[in-house]
Chain A
Amino acid sequence: MTPNLNLWLIPILPLAGAAINGLWGRRSSRQAVTTIALVFSGAAFAMALWVAARFASIPLPYQEFLAHWIRSGTFAVDFSFYLDPLSLVMLLVVTGVGLLIHIYSVGYMWDDPSYYRFFAYLNLFMFFMLTLVLANNYLLMFIGWEGVGLASYLLIGFWFTKDSAAAAGKKAFIVNRIGDFGFLIGLFLLIRHFGSLTFEQVFHSIAPMSPETAEAGVLTAVGLLLLVGACGKSAQIPLYVWLPDAMEGPTPVSALIHAATMVTAGVYMVARSHVIFERAPMALTVVAVIGTLTAFFAATIGIAQTDIKKVLAYSTVSQLGYMFMACGVGAFSAGIFHLMTHAFFKGLLFLAAGSVIHAVGGEQDMRKMGGLRTKIPVTFWTMTAGTLAIAGIPGLAGFFSKDEILWRVYQASWIYWVVGIVTAFLTSFYIFRLWFLTFFGEYRGHADGAAGEHGHPAHGADRRHGHAGIHESPPVMLAPLVILAILSVVGGYVGVPGSLGGGNRFEKFLDPVFRPITPGLNTQHNAPGETNPPEQQSEGTEPQTSHATELVFTGISVAAALLGFGLAWTFYYRNPQLPERIATDLDGLYDAVVHKYYIDELYGEVFVKPLLDGSTRILWQGVDQNLIDGTVNNGADAARHVSDQARHMQSGNLRSYAGWIAAGSAVIIAFMIWMGVGR
């Protein structure tokens, strides 16, 4: 008998918090709102820990039925939940990082007049995100998928009186919808060919197939369509454009939704669908190529941004690209590993950036920062941990996961690896650039500078009023920073690769999920005892390369990181005039990078403008008003001239119309009686 875990409570708890704060928060005190928000998200985390503690004794995958949802003919979708090592990892990351960011937000948002609304949205986000990772079928996952998009929309546009924030929220939702369109079509294909959207049933039907069987085309199509959805949610080329704009939202939102959790949903979805992708090599290659391109492309934009959050935003896009690269070469657990470490260090970097912004009175332009090292020491040290982790300095979380990815992609193709190494160098460069610009040199701003992020004029005034000069953040904000900093340092040790003397425990933990399903044999129904994989079988087809080779590659990636550090040190610490000179020399190229290659402008000219103009001039005014209405009115005019009698019909007098109906009805009835008599 399977134990009942009541998994459904995990998403429902934050929903309850959102409902309570959303409905009554406006009239409650800040303390009450805080209590509700933290208790409910904390309870979800506690439950996740409890599930993790019992995890060894649960037969996997664990499934739980809650209620029927949609039923149409033989097609059925339920509210049912699914737990396996993959969803457990996601569950812990989402609830854990989520709780930390909730705590941080208490300090960060305390002065905001819409404090309750912020936490209602944040809890709502947790509900949808947890639904997404715990769903046992694609449609329930889609609820979470669209729902996190909604939460993202609400939170990006949180300061709605600011036009740019409102526009950014809308843009995020619409671009995501473009992705969801692909996702939906993918689901329709699954329904058409497999009659179900339940993971277990779909994967069970797919397992016996291979790239050579007749259904290969369908699987490729499904894979590509799901990828469209993933590109929207995880901000990959060509749908990444919404994520940098999403920085209009409050910084904790950027940390939680637009770095640590929601944007990784695409990676999770691809990993969850590995059974499909493994049998669709072409789709998988596209995943890898898109990931590689995005990783490199976004990193190049990141090096020239001056807004501290924009740097981190492009960095996030780039790091998500790494995760897609990993999935694209079939190294799903490496991708998920990086997803987890990235959640730690990027969440940390964003929160620390928020603490910096908080310290300098809302300023986000790094050119107006500098020398903050001594003034906000805790923020500095924690951010340093995050910086080292993302740069790939050995021993920290980001090092292990990125190294694992680079090693795996090299086995697929050296091109991926080369781009990956160059991106690693760029990553190191832009992040140390940020670090030097923010914390070193002379302070270049005004402590009482105008509110940058905080669009609320009243809010900015409050903030200035409350704090004088540059100041460290309150403990409620620093505590999450410290915890995340520790995780960024040690979080990678769960997955130390064999070549570095580790046991690669993370990969082994995920192995039951990604272990190839042998055709005809459904491993989903394995006995509980078999969930621990046999030692010899590790993921994919790892060739017996010597550890020495792997170490050489590790050395190269460390060198790339150090090179990036050195360059950033030269440019932004040793010789701060240099970047300006180079920028002038590289005129055109630099300009293009600063303006993000004019992609937004391009989309505007190619898609948005023609659509609006065409709809207005051709469809509405052309077809609707001139063609259809014009024809009808001309016809009516013509009819009017036929006889004077008819003109009375157009007189517009309703009473006379009533008369006409009465007369008409009389004729009709008379006609019918006549017919009846005539029979």
Chain B
Amino acid sequence: MSTDNFSSSILTMVTFAPLFGGLLLTIFPRRDRDVRIFALVVSLLTVLASLHLPVHFQRAQTAFQYEIDRPWVSTPNIHYHMGVDGISLWLVLLTTFLTPLCVLISWKSVHERVKEFFILLLILETALIGVFTSLDLFLFYFFWEATLIPMALLIGVFGHERKVYAAVKFFMYTMIASVFMLAAILWLYAQVGSFDFIVIREKIMSGAVPGFASAAPWLFLGFFLAFAVKVPLFPFHTWLPDAHVEAPTAGSVLLAGVLLKMGTYGMLRFNLGLFPEQSLRNAPWIMTLALIGIIYGALVAMVQPNLKKLIAYSSVSHLGFVVLGIFSFTQAGLNGALFVMLAHGISTGGLFMLAGILQERRHTYEIREFGGLAAPMPIYAASFLFIVLASVGLPLLNGFVGEFLVLSGAFQARAVYGILAATGVIWSACYLLWMYQRVFFGKITVPANNSLSDLSGFEKAAVWPCAVAALVMGVAPLLWLNAIDPAVQSALTPFAQVISKVVGR
């Protein structure tokens, strides 16, 4: 009995612990140092609590677990319904894993409005976790929009030169796109009378939703547009480089690490979950856009003179792999998509932290300002290379497993897509290693770089966990895959029935 209670309240605890900490932070400590320590403790406690989830997760079981379902508002019929499956479980973990690292990397770099900064960070964490745990569409939408405000404020208040422009651009893009999703959610509610994801899904599958057949294409697009902008899928990606360049390091880490995954998670959960037939019908052009994103993002990343923009465009490329995998509707493709989401969160999170470390020392992200850094900063250079290799997809590091599965799945679904997407392994080596060469190798050309200090203790504590995670995920991917695989399998079951109905497969 008591375990049942705990089991149903654990998600609430994990989700709201950071918010609670953030609220406490408004009243309790005053000195900046105490604020930092407090934020770190809160985020670490959240990690601890979230570790309960994978440890007690029934891996073979495909239903939602740690479920809690309480009526919240009777009219309209909103439930406080939460739960995780093998798909969302790891995204929650990714969020709780990255947040303490964000606290650490901001330890020295944020020295104005420290309190506000960490409050926003913790609120953001709650909103992000909420997105992945919500099973009620209203709740989901609430968290979805709730991520916008702290993120926009982090960029707009704590960012660099053009921070306001970037924050507004970020905000407008994702806000406008979300409106379409809201319309789709409201339509579904009007027909079904519930926001509950599971209820809606069952109604749709059993054909009990009036007018669904004619509305489905629009509903699909409504959801898809909101997610596509968030991912961001080509050609909706132009907000991303600007947002990243201006965002403070911690903002970039959570933006690239988790926030983008809200989009791909949404596609998997809602587009595939609610509209399998539409997903199949729309797959060709979506896969094409994903493919363009993979190659386009990589090529544009290659010629960026700005380190952070380069990483941002590389995200466009990596997230293209995720979308490609999802819309391949193959076991390998979806498993891989999930894995790339996690791997990208870790490695790109790491890359942004490393870029931030450099910016803090030199106040620039321009690649030509660097060169020869491997000599004055050997530990930094080695750490950077490790994360770069993870991102390049070197086998035994985390990037490889996901990319391999996605490409294999895409190849099975449509060989040409798989082949073209596989050129990504060449491009990623090009842009990352060329960047690495220009930053770290050769002789030092800018005198200021001679005296750069190597990684500090806090920086090591922020970066090295990413490196360790990249290695563990690459060597023992089964720890993740054996929970992902059954969930993906059940996500794909409707497709077996639908596939026969759609022509062209």
Cβ of B303 and Cβ of A615 under 8 Å apart?
yes
How close is A460's CB to chain B, nearest CB, in angstroms? 15
- Across the interface, B441 reaches (CB within 8 A) one of A161, A177, A619, A668, namely A161
> Hey, which chain B residues are within 8 Å of A214, CB to CB?
none
CA–CA, A628 and B236, complex, Å = 8
> Hey, which chain B residues are within 8 Å of A165, CB to CB?
441
- Complex interface bits, B2-36 against A, C-beta within 8 A gives 1, otherwise 0: 00000000000000000000000000000000000
> Hey, which chain A residues are within 8 Å of B303, CB to CB?
612, 615-616, 620
The answer, yes or no, to whether A606 is at the interface (CB within 8 Å) is no
Cβ of B331 and Cβ of A72 under 8 Å apart?
yes
Cβ of A192 and Cβ of B394 under 8 Å apart?
no
The answer, yes or no, to whether B374 is at the interface (CB within 8 Å) is yes
The answer, yes or no, to whether A411 is at the interface (CB within 8 Å) is no
Given contacts A163-B442, A170-B433, A619-B300, contact A147 B408 (CB under 8 A): no
Q: Which label, helix, strand, loop or mixed, suits the secondary structure of the B interface?
A: helix
Cβ of A654 and Cβ of B167 under 8 Å apart?
yes
> Hey, which chain A residues are within 8 Å of B304, CB to CB?
620
CA–CA, A616 and B299, complex, Å = 8
Cβ of B331 and Cβ of A657 under 8 Å apart?
no
The answer, yes or no, to whether A180 is at the interface (CB within 8 Å) is yes
> Hey, which chain B residues are within 8 Å of A676, CB to CB?
75-77
The answer, yes or no, to whether A166 is at the interface (CB within 8 Å) is yes
The answer, yes or no, to whether A663 is at the interface (CB within 8 Å) is no
How close is B187's CB to chain A, nearest CB, in angstroms? 11
> Hey, which chain A residues are within 8 Å of B93, CB to CB?
none
The answer, yes or no, to whether B396 is at the interface (CB within 8 Å) is yes
The answer, yes or no, to whether B88 is at the interface (CB within 8 Å) is no
Q: Which label, helix, strand, loop or mixed, suits the secondary structure of the A interface?
A: helix
The answer, yes or no, to whether A443 is at the interface (CB within 8 Å) is no
The answer, yes or no, to whether A71 is at the interface (CB within 8 Å) is yes
Given contacts A70-B405, A160-B374, contact A166 B437 (CB under 8 A): yes
> Hey, which chain B residues are within 8 Å of A169, CB to CB?
437
Cβ of A166 and Cβ of B441 under 8 Å apart?
yes
- Across the interface, A181 reaches (CB within 8 A) one of B404, B426, B485, namely B426
> Hey, which chain A residues are within 8 Å of B77, CB to CB?
676
The answer, yes or no, to whether A174 is at the interface (CB within 8 Å) is yes
Interface with A: B198-206, B246-254, B257-265, B415-423, which one? Answer: B415-423
The answer, yes or no, to whether B494 is at the interface (CB within 8 Å) is no
> Hey, which chain A residues are within 8 Å of B190, CB to CB?
675
How close is B439's CB to chain A, nearest CB, in angstroms? 11
Cβ of B394 and Cβ of A146 under 8 Å apart?
yes
CA–CA, A614 and B335, complex, Å = 34
CA–CA, A12 and B331, complex, Å = 32
Cβ of B408 and Cβ of A177 under 8 Å apart?
no
- Complex interface bits, B335-350 against A, C-beta within 8 A gives 1, otherwise 0: 1100000000000000
CA–CA, A173 and B156, complex, Å = 40
The answer, yes or no, to whether A185 is at the interface (CB within 8 Å) is yes
> Hey, which chain B residues are within 8 Å of A180, CB to CB?
425
Cβ of A192 and Cβ of B429 under 8 Å apart?
no
> Hey, which chain B residues are within 8 Å of A629, CB to CB?
238
> Hey, which chain A residues are within 8 Å of B394, CB to CB?
146-147, 150
> Hey, which chain B residues are within 8 Å of A181, CB to CB?
422-423, 425-426
CA–CA, A672 and B422, complex, Å = 47
> Hey, which chain A residues are within 8 Å of B367, CB to CB?
none
Residue of A nearest to B374 (CB): A160
Given contacts A160-B374, A652-B165, contact A177 B238 (CB under 8 A): no
Cβ of A177 and Cβ of B300 under 8 Å apart?
no
Most buried by B among A71, A170, A668: A170
CA–CA, A153 and B394, complex, Å = 13
> Hey, which chain B residues are within 8 Å of A677, CB to CB?
75
The answer, yes or no, to whether A661 is at the interface (CB within 8 Å) is yes
Most buried by A among B300, B408, B441, B442: B441
Considering the complex, which residues of chain A in the window 644-679 have a beta carbon less than 8 Å from any beta carbon of chain B?
650, 652, 654, 657-658, 661, 665, 668, 671-673, 675-677, 679
- Across the interface, B171 reaches (CB within 8 A) one of A167, A188, A189, A657, namely A657
Cβ of A661 and Cβ of B389 under 8 Å apart?
no
CA–CA, A668 and B145, complex, Å = 13
The answer, yes or no, to whether A321 is at the interface (CB within 8 Å) is no
> Hey, which chain A residues are within 8 Å of B167, CB to CB?
654
Considering the complex, which residues of chain B in the window 285-323 have a beta carbon less than 8 Å from any beta carbon of chain A?
296, 299-300, 302-304
The answer, yes or no, to whether B372 is at the interface (CB within 8 Å) is yes
- Complex interface bits, B141-166 against A, C-beta within 8 A gives 1, otherwise 0: 00001001100110011000000110
CA–CA, A170 and B429, complex, Å = 9
The answer, yes or no, to whether A632 is at the interface (CB within 8 Å) is yes
How close is A169's CB to chain B, nearest CB, in angstroms? 8
> Hey, which chain B residues are within 8 Å of A167, CB to CB?
437
> Hey, which chain A residues are within 8 Å of B335, CB to CB?
72-73
CA–CA, A553 and B30, complex, Å = 91
> Hey, which chain A residues are within 8 Å of B216, CB to CB?
none
> Hey, which chain A residues are within 8 Å of B475, CB to CB?
69
The answer, yes or no, to whether B375 is at the interface (CB within 8 Å) is yes
Cβ of B302 and Cβ of A657 under 8 Å apart?
no
Residue of B nearest to A182 (CB): B422
> Hey, which chain A residues are within 8 Å of B238, CB to CB?
624, 628-629, 632
Cβ of B437 and Cβ of A184 under 8 Å apart?
no
How close is A551's CB to chain B, nearest CB, in angstroms? 48
Residue of B nearest to A625 (CB): B238
- Across the interface, B153 reaches (CB within 8 A) one of A185, A191, A654, namely A654
Cβ of A185 and Cβ of B441 under 8 Å apart?
no
Residue of B nearest to A159 (CB): B441
Residue of A nearest to B379 (CB): A26
Cβ of B441 and Cβ of A73 under 8 Å apart?
no
The answer, yes or no, to whether A335 is at the interface (CB within 8 Å) is no
The answer, yes or no, to whether A521 is at the interface (CB within 8 Å) is no
Given contacts A75-B332, A143-B396, A615-B303, contact A68 B478 (CB under 8 A): yes
Cβ of B396 and Cβ of A72 under 8 Å apart?
no
Residue of B nearest to A678 (CB): B190
The answer, yes or no, to whether A14 is at the interface (CB within 8 Å) is no
Cβ of B426 and Cβ of A178 under 8 Å apart?
yes
CA–CA, A427 and B302, complex, Å = 41
Cβ of A150 and Cβ of B152 under 8 Å apart?
no
The answer, yes or no, to whether A611 is at the interface (CB within 8 Å) is yes
CA–CA, A72 and B86, complex, Å = 14
CA–CA, A432 and B78, complex, Å = 87
> Hey, which chain B residues are within 8 Å of A174, CB to CB?
426, 429-430, 433
Most buried by B among A73, A616, A632: A73
The answer, yes or no, to whether A590 is at the interface (CB within 8 Å) is no
Cβ of A157 and Cβ of B441 under 8 Å apart?
yes
Cβ of A624 and Cβ of B411 under 8 Å apart?
no
The answer, yes or no, to whether A142 is at the interface (CB within 8 Å) is yes
CA–CA, A619 and B301, complex, Å = 10
CA–CA, A146 and B76, complex, Å = 56
Cβ of B299 and Cβ of A615 under 8 Å apart?
yes
> Hey, which chain A residues are within 8 Å of B45, CB to CB?
none
13 A-B Cβ contacts within 8 A? A69-B478, A72-B485, A73-B485, A75-B332, A142-B395, A173-B429, A177-B429, A191-B412, A628-B235, A654-B152, A673-B75, A673-B76, A675-B76
Given contacts A26-B378, A68-B478, A184-B404, 4 further A-B contacts (CB under 8 A): A161-B442, A163-B442, A181-B426, A665-B145
Question: A-B pairs with the 7 shortest C-beta distances?
Answer: A166-B441, A73-B331, A676-B75, A188-B411, A676-B76, A143-B395, A615-B299
Binding site for A on B (CB under 8 A): 75-77, 145, 148-149, 152-153, 156-157, 164-165, 167-168, 171-172, 175, 182, 186, 189-190, 193, 235, 238, 296, 299-300, 302-304, 331-332, 335-336, 372, 374-375, 378, 389, 394-396, 400-401, 404-405, 407-408, 411-412, 415, 418-419, 422-423, 425-426, 429-430, 433-434, 437, 440-443, 475, 477-478, 481-482, 485, 489
Binding site for B on A (CB under 8 A): 26, 68-73, 75, 139, 142-143, 146-147, 150, 153, 157, 160-163, 165-167, 169-170, 173-174, 177-178, 180-181, 184-185, 187-189, 191-192, 611-612, 614-616, 619-620, 623-624, 628-629, 632, 636, 650, 652, 654, 657-658, 661, 665, 668, 671-673, 675-677, 679
